[in-house]
Amino acid sequence: MLVIDQLHARVEGKDILKGLSLRVGAGEVHAIMGPNGAGKSTLAHVLAGREGYEVTAGSVRFLDQDLLAMEPEARAAAGVFLGFQYPVEIPGVSNLYFLRAALNAQRKRRGESEIDAAAFLALMRDKLKTMGMDRAMLQRGVNEGFSGGEKKRNEILQMLVLEPRLMVLDETDSGLDIDALKVVAEGINLRRGPQTATVLVTHYQRLLDHVKPDAVHVLAGGRIVRSGGPELALELEARGYAWLDAA
Amino acid sequence: MGLPLDHWPVLAGREAWRSRWIAEGFPRDDHEAFHYTDLSDLDSRHWPLAGPLPVDGPETLPGLAPWPLEALAAPGLAEDWAFAALNASYAGQGLQLQLAADQRLGWRQAGLRTPAGQQLHFQHRLRLGARAEAQVLIDHQGGAGGLSSHWLEIQLDDGAQLTLVRVQDDAADHQHLALTRVQLGRDSRLHLITLDRGQGRARHDLQVRLAGRGAEAQLDGLYLPAGRQHLDTQLSVQHQAEHTRSRQFHRGIAADRGVAVFNGQVRVHRGARGSDSDQKMAHLLLGPAARVNAKPELVIDHDEVKCAHGASTGQLDAAALHYLRSRGLAQSEARALLVAAFAGTVLERLPLEALRRREQQVLLQRLGAAAPLEMLALEEALA
């Protein structure tokens, strides 16, 4: 579903990704771990198409399309979702309006009909319940005044409503207490299936206790330096990253 | 150097004011108060004087009573206003409101439509007796290429309460010259909302005097210069008595070659003990050629007062724009949504549902975004 080949990217004139290759097949969950500054967030932003992240070499194909040639909104409509490490606050735009505008914009771009107000509200009620969130949040500005944990829940709520094919979750587990972590993990697991793929960018093993990955990769120095099964995450948890340099 | 005489009509009994106007002419940018608004290009222009407007103006919003224009019995001269002589020379009509003590008046709406290519001048007077209450909306729709001047004089007696919404929606190349003066008595309240979204050039001198102990003014404003529009607001708030309070909340959005000038002075006079003032202004620049000249100014002549102010000028938040796009909104939609949200912080202060909707609709139309009513309907369905 996602094929990244020899990707090089720079941010503010500094080379961050230096030949990163990764293949994620349909139905798979991959975890990407690694020390700070390794390029994990850069990878996430490059996949979502953020301005200022310059790809200097390599390719990214998603469902046989050239992802790097697409505008961010076209990537979203094609089924790419980035769960932000730091979700943005947008005062004056309600969560309700935002989510409906986003959903309808994606549907329109895919040539589907817009969802009507009643159907949308029913959908929202259902997803809010799954995420254990209060309906009152819908009237509030997007992420406005939300705690770190509420913002992360809101990312997963958006993911459930937008139903993407590829989910790239950038440290969605950071800043969550154990109950919130379980809810977020449940949301991620709900989207697991033969038609979707997930990339979890994380520092910690604990999310992987709740969302079992098919593969674990270590990203260091802008490249994948080691890949393995779930046991690799446990090893990293026990030994840190330093041993990888020596190896 | 004066104005070419023959361009300016003569009204009986007003020759002296006319002579003064001819001698003064339009201010140019060497005049300190007109530093950013040079009007000297108007010296050579010519506008025929329009006949009186029909007293019953344009149709009103649902639930608002029409507020008819009246002929002026005795025109006056607004001293210290750059256009006082011009206005006094030709003003023939105005809105009048005189409320006795304890009298209450529901929403009223007036529409002032200067014909295209012509000039028209107004003097409006509002006086609210003790504890009287009124709510008024004045729509200004100056015709293309026209000229209008508006002197609005307001006096609020002790405990009176006035809500005033002033909308300026002039057509292209209209020259809009306005003076609004408000004097507030003891414990009186003013809520003034100014919305400037005209296509021409506007200069508004807004002077608020908190003259009675405990008087309070809330001043909210939104201005949206686009195209080649030029909007200049000179606001002065004078705290002259103890425990007076003022709140300002202004938002400006400049696009294309639009220019916003905002000069907001707050002065706390000697003796105005326990006064409390807060001034917030923020501006959004939507293009490289758009300009904002904003200047907050605080003059404090008395200790033991509370004064705060904040001013910012910036562009759309790139992170917010990317966030919206990453969820599927097209760049143009995302931009419109962020601009609407910025302007919405003023529009949500409009105290009347029908008016709020009208203004939201106009705004989103300008931005080319999705229908705002849909957004409201959605929220109502949920409530």
pLDDT single digits (tens) A44-64: 999 999 999 999 999 999 999
Q: What is the pLDDT of residues B6-43, one digit of tens each?
A: 789 999 999 999 999 999 999 998 888 899 999 989 98
- State residue A10 phi and psi, 5-degree precision: -130, 150
B125 with B96: CB under 8 angstroms? Answer: yes
Look over chain B and give the mean of its residue pLDDT values, rounded to a whole number.
91
Does the beta carbon of A165 lie under 8 angstroms from any beta carbon of chain B? no
**pLDDT surpassing 70 at residue A28:** yes
Chain B residues inside the 8 Å CB shell of A92: 340-342, 344-345
Task: Give the distance from residue A48's alpha carbon to the nearest chain B alpha carbon, in angstroms.
Answer: 6
Q: Do B322 and A97 count as a contact with CB atoms less than 8 A apart?
A: no
Residue B380 confidence (pLDDT): 53
Q: Which of A89-103, B200-214, B331-345 has the highest mean pLDDT?
A: B200-214
Residue B2 confidence (pLDDT): 61
How many CB atoms are located within 10 Å of the residue A136 CB? Answer: 9
Q: Is the pTM of this model over 0.95?
A: no
What mean pLDDT comes out for the span B148-163?
98
Task: Give the distance from residue A6's alpha carbon to the nearest chain B alpha carbon, in angstroms.
Answer: 24
User: In the structure, what pLDDT confidence band is assigned to residue B311 with cuts at 50, 70 and 90?
Assistant: confident
Q: Do A139 and B379 count as a contact with CB atoms less than 8 A apart?
A: yes
Q: What is the pLDDT of residues A69-78, one digit of tens each?
A: 999 999 999 9
For residues B202 and B229, give the distance between their C-alpha atoms in angstroms, rounded to a whole number. Answer: 8
In one-letter notation, the amino acid at residue B203 is: R
How many CB atoms are located within 10 Å of the residue A36 CB? Answer: 8
A47 with A168: CB under 8 angstroms? Answer: yes
**pLDDT surpassing 80 at residue B207:** yes
B91, B196, B71, B222: which is closest to B142 by C-alpha?
B196
Q: Do B325 and A71 count as a contact with CB atoms less than 8 A apart?
A: yes
Chain B residues inside the 8 Å CB shell of A156: none
What mean pLDDT comes out for the span A168-195?
93
Residue B371 confidence (pLDDT): 45
Does the beta carbon of B55 lie under 8 angstroms from any beta carbon of chain A? no
User: In the structure, what pLDDT confidence band is assigned to residue A165 with cuts at 50, 70 and 90?
Assistant: very high
For residues A211 and A29, give the distance between their C-alpha atoms in angstroms, rounded to a whole number. Answer: 8
Q: Do B378 and A97 count as a contact with CB atoms less than 8 A apart?
A: yes
**pLDDT surpassing 90 at residue B328:** yes
Q: What is the pLDDT of residues B68-94, one digit of tens each?
A: 999 999 999 999 999 999 999 999 999
Residue B372 confidence (pLDDT): 43
Q: Do A72 and B319 count as a contact with CB atoms less than 8 A apart?
A: no
**pLDDT surpassing 70 at residue A17:** yes
Q: Do B327 and A76 count as a contact with CB atoms less than 8 A apart?
A: yes
Q: What is the pLDDT of residues A90-106, one digit of tens each?
A: 988 889 989 999 999 99
Task: Give the distance from residue B371's alpha carbon to the nearest chain A alpha carbon, in angstroms.
Answer: 11
Q: What is the pLDDT of residues B348-382, one digit of tens each?
A: 899 988 998 889 888 877 776 554 445 545 555 55
Q: What is the CA radius of gyration of chain B?
A: 21
Look over chain A and give the mean of its residue pLDDT values, rounded to a whole number.
93
Disruptive mutation site among A110, A142, A170 for chain B (greatest number of B CBs within 10 Å): A142
**pLDDT surpassing 50 at residue B102:** yes
What mean pLDDT comes out for the span A184-203?
95
Q: What is the pLDDT of residues B269-299, one digit of tens each?
A: 999 999 999 999 999 999 899 999 998 899 9
Q: Do B333 and A101 count as a contact with CB atoms less than 8 A apart?
A: yes
A5's enclosing H/E stretch is strand A2-11
Residue B381 confidence (pLDDT): 54
> How many residues are listed for chain A in this entry?
247
Residue B373 confidence (pLDDT): 44
**pLDDT surpassing 90 at residue A246:** no
Q: What is the largest CA-CA distance in chain A?
A: 59
Report the residue from B344, B379, B381 with minimal CB separation from A92: B344
Q: Which two tokens stand for residue A246?
A: 């020596």
